[in-house]
Chains A and B, each alone.
Chain A
Amino acid sequence: MVPLNYYLALSAILFSMGALGILIRRNSLIIFMSVELMLNAANLSFVIFARQWAANSASVFNGQIFVFFVMTVAAAEVAVGLALIVVIFRSHQSIDIDQLNNLKG
Chain B
Amino acid sequence: MTQTDFYTILPISILIIWACALLLVDLFIPKGHKQTTALLAAIGLALTLGFSLSQIGSDLKGFNGMIVLDGFSIFLDVLLLLTGLFGVAVAKGYLTRFEMEHGEYYVLMMLSLSGMMLMAQATDLIITFLALELLSIPLYVLAAFALEHNESEEAGLKYLLLGAYSTGFVVFGISLIFGATGTTSFAGIFAAIQGGAATMSLLLIGSALLLVGFGFKVGLVPFHMWTPDVYQGSPTSVTAFMAAGAKAAGFAAILRIFASVFPALAVDLMPIVAGLSALTMIVGNFTAIAQTDIKRMLAFSSIAQAGYILMAFVPFANETVRATAISAGLFYLVAYTVTSFGTWGIVIALEKAEGKGLAIADYAGLGKKYPLLAASMAVFMLSLTGLPPTLGLVGKLYLFRAAIEGGVYWLAILGVLTSLVSAYYYLRVIVVMYMKEGDPQISREGWLEFTIGVCALLTVLFSLVPQQLFAWTSQALMFHF
* A interface residues with partner B (beta carbon < 8 Å): 8, 11, 15, 18-19, 22, 28, 31-32, 35, 38-39, 41-43, 45-46, 48-50, 52-53, 56-60, 62-63, 65-66, 69-70, 73, 76-77, 80-81, 84-85, 87-88, 91-92, 97, 100, 102-103, 105
Contact = CB atoms under 8 A, between A and B. Distances in A.
25 contacts: A8-B179, A15-B168, A18-B168, A19-B165, A28-B157, A31-B161, A38-B168, A42-B168, A43-B175, A46-B175, A58-B183, A62-B183, A66-B175, A66-B178, A69-B126, A76-B137, A77-B137, A77-B167, A81-B161, A81-B164, A88-B153, A88-B154, A100-B158, A105-B228, A105-B232
Interface residues of B, number: 44
Nearest to A8: B179
Most chain B CB within a 10 A radius of its CB, from A35, A57, A65, A84:
A84
Interface in B282-303: 291-293, 296
Contacts of B158: 97, 100, 103
A66 B144 contact: no
A67 B178 CA distance: 12
Contacts of B296: 105
Going nearest first, the 5 A-B pairs with the smallest beta carbon separation are A38-B168, A49-B179, A57-B182, A53-B182, A42-B171
A33 to B, nearest CB: 11
A105 B174 CA distance: 35
Given A59-B188, A65-B126, A91-B153, A77 B160 contact: yes
B228 A87 contact: no
Interface of B: 126, 129-130, 133, 137, 140-141, 144, 147, 150-151, 153-158, 160-161, 164-165, 167-169, 171-172, 174-176, 178-179, 182-185, 188, 228-229, 232-233, 291-293, 296
Given A35-B165, A57-B183, A15 B178 contact: no
A69 B153 contact: no
Contact of A102 (B130, B154, B165, B293): B154
Contacts of B292: 105
A39 to B, nearest CB: 6
B153 A70 contact: no
Nearest to A12: B172
Nearest to B300: A105
A103 B295 CA distance: 11
Contacts of B175: 11, 42-43, 45-46, 49, 63, 66
Nearest to A18: B168
A74 to B, nearest CB: 8
Contacts of B137: 76-77, 80
Given A52-B179, A53-B182, A65-B126, A84 B171 contact: no
B122 to A, nearest CB: 13
B153 A105 contact: no
A43 B161 CA distance: 19
Contacts of B293: 105
Given A15-B168, A84-B140, A103-B151, A42 B182 contact: no
Contacts of B172: 15, 38, 41-42, 45
Nearest to B177: A49
A80 B153 contact: no
Nearest to B291: A105
A22 B163 CA distance: 12
B130 A103 contact: no
B126 A19 contact: no
A38 B167 CA distance: 9
A87 B147 contact: yes
B157 A66 contact: no
A46 B140 CA distance: 27
Contact of B178 (A18, A28, A62): A62
Given A66-B126, A81-B140, A100-B154, 20 more contacts: A15-B168, A32-B161, A38-B165, A42-B171, A43-B175, A50-B178, A66-B175, A66-B184, A70-B171, A76-B137, A77-B140, A80-B160, A84-B156, A84-B160, A87-B153, A88-B154, A102-B151, A102-B233, A103-B154, A105-B228
Contact of B165 (A22, A46, A57): A22
Contacts of B126: 62, 65-66, 69
Contacts of B228: 103, 105
Contacts of B183: 57-59, 62
Contacts of A39: 167-168, 171
**Most chain B beta-carbon neighbours within 10 Å: one of A8, A43, A73, A92:** A73
Given A39-B168, A45-B172, A69 B147 contact: no
A48 B147 CA distance: 43
A59 B185 contact: yes
